[in-house]
Amino acid sequence: MTEPILELDGITKRFGALTANDAISLRLRQGEILALLGENGAGKTTLMNILFGHYAADAGEVRVHGRPLPPGQPRAAIAAGVGMVHQHFTLAGNLTVTENITLGTEPLLRLDSRRAEAKARIRNLSETFGLPVDPDARVADLSVGERQRVEILKALYRNARILILDEPTAVLAAPEAEQLFRILRGMTATGLSIIFISHKLHEVMAASDRVTVLRGGRVVAERRTADTSPAELAELMVGRSVTRPRRAAHPVGAPVLVARGLTVREGHGTPLDAIDFDVAQGEILGIVGVSGNGQATLGRVLSGLARPLAGTLTFDGRDITRLTPRQAVQLGLGRIPEDRHAEGTVGDLTVWENAVLERLREPAFSTRGFVRRAAARSFAAELIRRFDIRGAGPDTRTRLLSGGNMQKLILGRNIAARPRFLLANQPTRGLDEGAIAAVHAELLAARAEGAAILLVSEDLEEAVGLSDRIQAIVKGRLSAPVTAEAADARTLGLMMAGIWETRHAG
Amino acid sequence: MTEAFDILLNASLWAAVLRIATPLIFGVLGALVCERAGVLNLGIEGIMTMGAMAGWLTVYWGGDLWTGLLVAALAGLLLGLLHAVLTVVLGLSQHVSGLGITLFGASLSYYLYRLWVQVGDLPPTIEPFQPLHIPGLSDLPFLGEAVFSQTAPTYLALLLVAVTAWVLARTPLGLALRMTGENPHAVEAQGLNPVAIRIGAVMAGSALMALGGAFLTLAAFNSFFPTMVQGRGWICIALVVFASWRPGKALLGALLFALFDAFQLRLQTTVEGVPYQLFLMAPYVLSILALVLVARRARVPEALMQPYRRGER
């Protein structure tokens, strides 16, 4: 065994009453990829922020090559060869790639930056590690995948020997994620050592040499990846065995929402091209497809934010083609938006305010223009209890909730209104296994009560597990539906590749 | 129409443009440096007044004119430090702190002036900067009078435009400053201290603003009045937006405003039958128009007015 190049020893960090990291120790050896696995809130990011010097630990020590790092100094971590790729990129959109990378690498009082040298070195690193990016591009013009490359190049430019990636695939589509892991593997061949944070079992299994599992701020297990299984890791991570609930067969009722020949064109969004679908009472219709094929536009139409050019949309037989957002709320069209931060909640408002925001016009929550705070608070408290929203009271600022709990709040306020129809747009994106199971259980419960649910998802396992019927969305067109029983991997794969279209054409 | 044309062809107009523009150039550069680092500095009016007073008093007490400028800059540094402590260290509202410093700077200047200076019927005067005679250049026809017969601080202002542009665009320090105004978290992640950079930028910017004030008492006039800045600071704040936060365009904006101003002064005396207040208004109306036309495309520093606290997103 080689000497560990990085050791964390007894790291403890408290935020008020919360102990985010409790005496955590771990080791990283040269050329190794270590996965740090844990649910949201397990303390992974806190630990890495301590390692990189963003936070100072209350107790414990970080050693690189046996030498302790002074706490709370990113500069010292960088000098010791530690590079961090943050989950929320630390880039300036208005500046160029080169400027973002070279910041802080030259003596501040130099009279003229050596930009030509810097660009040459960036090109060189790009080629060596397979991270193509234009050094002169403005970062705001880059795709998310390219921005991540810039973040990695930033670390490599400063001669990082240890690379930390915080949830690197959270923002990537599946093929980009696979490519990233190939690149990381290539880096270890040149002697770099890598820690990546994740809560996704399959990528931990596919990409790591060793796994350290965190739960509730403690290390609960360490495994060689080859010696473990996804099932074991899931159980270690959650602390109990988690299985996603599956749909039980039950009769469906009359169609609730029916779209015929719906065509939508919007400024930048993918247009929808004459799509047909119907969702019946007590039915979940799954729309599968790679993100960016028109799902966002579909969501906007069903929320009353976009107007169709042609076609009809009916709700319980009533024409709602020219839907407005207020009508959507009044008719009981529930919505779980794709981006829970941007569209689902207002982060700086409290939980109770977010809970009743859509329904402020109802007499239950306002009289004569005044908000009935007591009623609204008790409604929020009821949601918190019924939907197991953790770490929140009615007066908690919503921004402070974890993604899973924020999603439960959005789901809860929709389901509590007993909607006739519910649009669930990527309802479990970014959530950990425990939260996914909870969201699935709620969607199935709403189905059992007779809601018509349109589930838009990239996750095939989710779509097949929940949906009665499935349609694929490709470049703004919808396939004909298949029943969940008929939807094996091959059929879905062909559907998502748009094969049904060529068949129609031919 | 021909009268307006005659005015434009007169070298004395262009000399006046440079003279009127000089305090604006100092001020707009100062505001720009602060804002590029992410801090709005509405203390500019008070800081300019303080610079005008401190510079003048130094010379009144026997210092030479350059020492006067230096003392003015130091006074600016101090007020800048105050603004930085309030907004950067304590993270308070930049608007409120800035307006507070404007009121504080203006009142304190007048208070100190009255405390230390005996004012009779007429305010006391000093011997201000005189126009430089540059051998050769100053004797050129037209250009000699229009451009090369200014006082030394005007040339200093023009030089500082180039220096500021260079520092921002070409040096590692300028990059760190710009990055702090775009994303201070990125600055910290690269091992630099965004708090220190912001404090430094606000102090340096405030010193530049104070030089603009000092120009008024040490070159444009020869005595101090408490109201002499007369909204020039606010013009500078608007000019920064007009200039899209770029030093070169800031110079252009200052010259443009000064041109409107010099032009309307002359129109007042040549055109009859129009109330002079309309001419007085003209530079401001034209500035608003220019702002509307240009500023919609402006690229605002992303972290402008956002306080930075470590360990928070």
ipTM, two decimals, is: 0.89
A102 at interface of B, judged by CB pairs closer than 8 A: yes
Chain A: nearest CA to B88, how far in angstroms?
19
pLDDT of residue A504: 47
Sorted by where each begins, the domain ranges of chain A are 4-238, 255-505
Domains A4-238 and A255-505 belong to one CATH topology: yes
A91 at interface of B, judged by CB pairs closer than 8 A: yes
A283 at interface of B, judged by CB pairs closer than 8 A: no
Reported as a pLDDT band with limits 50, 70 and 90, residue B298 is confident
- pLDDT of residue A503 exceeding 70: no
- pLDDT of residue B100 exceeding 70: yes
Phi-psi region of A70 (alpha: psi -120 to 50; beta: other; left: phi over 0): beta
- Neighbouring C-alpha atoms within 13 Å toward the C-beta of A494: 12
Reported as a pLDDT band with limits 50, 70 and 90, residue A401 is confident
A245 at interface of B, judged by CB pairs closer than 8 A: no
Tokens of B196: 């220190």
DSSP state of A291: T
DSSP state of A342: I
Average pLDDT over residues B94-111: 96
Which residues in B lie closer than 8 A to residue A105 (C-beta atoms)?
Answer: 172, 190
Rounded CA-CA distance B180/B200 in Å is: 11
Q: Which of B36, B167, B175, B310 should one mutate to test binding to chain A, selecting the residue with the greatest count of A CBs within 10 A?
A: B175
Which residues in A lie closer than 8 A to residue B175 (C-beta atoms)?
Answer: 95, 99, 102-103, 113
Neighbouring CB atoms inside 10 A of A113's CB total: 20
Rounded CA-CA distance A69/A80 in Å is: 8
Cβ contact, residue pair A103, B182, below 8 Å = no
pLDDT over 90, % of chain B: 71
A124-158 CB burial, b ≥16 within 10 A, e <16: ebbeebebebbbeebbeebeebbbbbbbbbbbbbb
Reported as a pLDDT band with limits 50, 70 and 90, residue A506 is very low
| Model confidence pLDDT, tens digit, residues B23-74 | 999 999 999 999 999 999 999 999 999 999 999 999 999 999 999 999 999 9
Which residues in A lie closer than 8 A to residue B190 (C-beta atoms)?
Answer: 74, 78, 90, 103-105, 154
pLDDT of residue B3: 73
Collapsed DSSP state (helix, strand, coil) of residue B135: coil
Reported as a pLDDT band with limits 50, 70 and 90, residue A467 is very high
CB of A21 within 8 A of CB of A8? no
Does the domain at A255-505 match CATH 3.50.40.10? Answer given as no
Q: What pTM value is reported for the model? A: 0.81
Pick the more confident residue, A83 or A175: A83
Cβ contact, residue pair B172, A107, below 8 Å = yes
The beta-carbon neighbor of B172 closest among A73, A92, A110 is A110
List the one residue out of B36, B24, B84 whose CA is nearest residue B208: B24
DSSP state of B88: I
- pLDDT of residue B6 exceeding 50: yes
pLDDT of residue B216: 97
Rounded CA-CA distance A236/A228 in Å is: 11
Between the CA of residue B132 and those of A117, A392, B58, B129, what are the distances in Å?
43, 71, 22, 9
Cβ contact, residue pair B302, A104, below 8 Å = no
CB of A76 within 8 A of CB of A69? yes
Determine how β-strand A82-85 pairs with β-strand A162-166.
parallel
The set of residues, in sequence order, having a beta carbon less than 8 Å from that of A346 and lying 6+ positions away, is: A353, A354, A357, A398
A78 at interface of B, judged by CB pairs closer than 8 A: yes
Q: What are residue B224's phi and psi, to 5 degrees?
A: -110, 130
Window B:105-124, CB contacts with A under 8 Å: none
Mean pLDDT rounded to a whole number for chain B: 92
Cβ contact, residue pair A99, B175, below 8 Å = yes
Lowest mean pLDDT among A12-16, A298-302, A431-435, B276-280: A431-435
pLDDT over 90, % of chain A: 52
List the one residue out of A222, A208, A167, A185 whose CA is nearest residue A48: A167
Q: What are residue A19's phi and psi, to 5 degrees?
A: -95, 105
Rounded-to-10 torsion of CA B185, B187, B189, B191? -140
Average pLDDT over residues A415-419: 88
DSSP state of B85: I
| Model confidence pLDDT, tens digit, residues A319-355 | 999 999 888 888 889 999 888 888 888 988 999 999 9
| Model confidence pLDDT, tens digit, residues A368-391 | 889 999 999 999 999 999 888 887
Phi-psi region of A260 (alpha: psi -120 to 50; beta: other; left: phi over 0): beta
Phi-psi region of A427 (alpha: psi -120 to 50; beta: other; left: phi over 0): alpha
Rounded-to-10 torsion of CA B248, B249, B253, B258? 20
Reported as a pLDDT band with limits 50, 70 and 90, residue A2 is low
List the one residue out of A417, A427, A358 whose CA is nearest residue A383: A417
pLDDT of residue A429: 83
The beta-carbon neighbor of B176 closest among A78, A93, A108 is A108
pLDDT of residue B288: 83
The beta-carbon neighbor of A104 closest among B171, B190, B299 is B190
pLDDT of residue A213: 94
Rounded CA-CA distance A406/A413 in Å is: 11
- pLDDT of residue B313 exceeding 50: no
pLDDT of residue A501: 54
- pLDDT of residue B311 exceeding 80: no
List the domains of chain B with CATH numbers: 2-116+150-295 (1.10.3470)
Q: Provide the number of CB pairs (under 8 Å) joining chain A to chain B.
A: 90
- pLDDT of residue A253 exceeding 70: yes
Q: Which helix (H) or strand (E) holds A310?
A: strand A310-315
Reported as a pLDDT band with limits 50, 70 and 90, residue A456 is very high
Between the CA of residue A95 and those of A146, B169, B177, B182, B197, what are the distances in Å?
14, 11, 12, 8, 18
The beta-carbon neighbor of A74 closest among B176, B178, B188 is B188
Determine how β-strand A452-457 pairs with β-strand A421-425.
parallel
pLDDT of residue A284: 95
B190 at interface of A, judged by CB pairs closer than 8 A: yes
| Model confidence pLDDT, tens digit, residues A98-146 | 999 999 999 999 999 999 999 999 999 999 999 999 999 999 888 888 9
Cβ contact, residue pair B190, A112, below 8 Å = no
Nearest residue in chain B measured CA to CA from A154: B190
Q: In sequence order, what DSSP letters do the residues of A413-451 get, joined into one string?
A: HHHTT--SEEEEESTTTT--HHHHHHHHHHHHHHHHTT-
Tokens of B168: 């921002």
- pLDDT of residue A266 exceeding 70: yes
Rounded CA-CA distance A354/A438 in Å is: 20
A87 at interface of B, judged by CB pairs closer than 8 A: no
Mean pLDDT rounded to a whole number for chain A: 89
Lowest mean pLDDT among B46-55, B199-208, B265-274: B265-274
Rounded CA-CA distance A262/A307 in Å is: 10
Cβ contact, residue pair A90, B173, below 8 Å = no
At residue B72's C-alpha, the angle toward residues B69 and B74, to 5°, is 115
Largest Cα–Cα separation, chain A:
76
DSSP state of A104: T
Nearest residue in chain B measured CA to CA from A74: B191
A429 at interface of B, judged by CB pairs closer than 8 A: no
- Neighbouring C-alpha atoms within 13 Å toward the C-beta of B117: 26
CB of B187 within 8 A of CB of A54? no
CB of A63 within 8 A of CB of A69? yes
B173-185 CB burial, b ≥16 within 10 A, e <16: bbbbbbbbbbbbb
Cβ contact, residue pair B172, A108, below 8 Å = yes
Reported as a pLDDT band with limits 50, 70 and 90, residue A36 is very high
Rounded CA-CA distance A506/A498 in Å is: 13
Rounded CA-CA distance B235/B177 in Å is: 24
Cβ contact, residue pair A103, B190, below 8 Å = yes
Cβ contact, residue pair A84, B189, below 8 Å = yes
Q: Which of A52, A75, A85, A94 should one mutate to test binding to chain B, selecting the residue with the greatest count of B CBs within 10 A?
A: A94
pLDDT of residue B1: 61
Neighbouring CB atoms inside 10 A of A182's CB total: 11
Pick the more confident residue, B80 or B2: B80
List the one residue out of A140, A26, A44 whose CA is nearest residue A92: A140
Rounded CA-CA distance B217/B54 in Å is: 9
B191 at interface of A, judged by CB pairs closer than 8 A: yes
Rounded CA-CA distance B71/B52 in Å is: 10
B246-272 CB burial, b ≥16 within 10 A, e <16: bbebbbbbbbbbbbbbbbbbbbbeeee
| Model confidence pLDDT, tens digit, residues A56-100 | 999 999 999 999 999 888 899 999 999 999 888 899 999 999 999
The CATH architecture that domain A4-238 belongs to is 3-Layer(aba) Sandwich (3.40)
Cβ contact, residue pair A113, B178, below 8 Å = no
| Model confidence pLDDT, tens digit, residues A274-291 | 999 999 999 999 999 887
B173 at interface of A, judged by CB pairs closer than 8 A: yes
Tokens of A128: 């060596």
